[in-house]
Amino acid sequence: MRETVRQQLATSLLHRPVGEWILERHRARRSYERIAAELAEATGGQVAVSKQAIHQWRKAADREQT
């Protein structure tokens, strides 16, 4: 799946694919709400998304890994 502009920004700011970053936190049993908050913090507030967006991004990242 092609990354959205917001995902591309997150990837750039994190210096790693945002999908991998999300999967790592999801596997550590963090909630989508917490992952969204951590993403905003990790990107200096430049990437603020809903927990629903994190859920969709995680599903896309899972599909890419299989």
Q: Is the pLDDT of residue 66 over 80?
A: no
Kindly report the number of other CB atoms within 10 A of residue 38's CB atom: 15
Q: Is the pLDDT of residue 19 over 80?
A: yes
Per-residue pLDDT, averaged over 28-46, amounts to 98
What integer pLDDT is reported at residue 1 of this predicted model? 60
Instruction: Evaluate whether 45 touches 63 at the Cβ level (below 8 Å).
Output: no
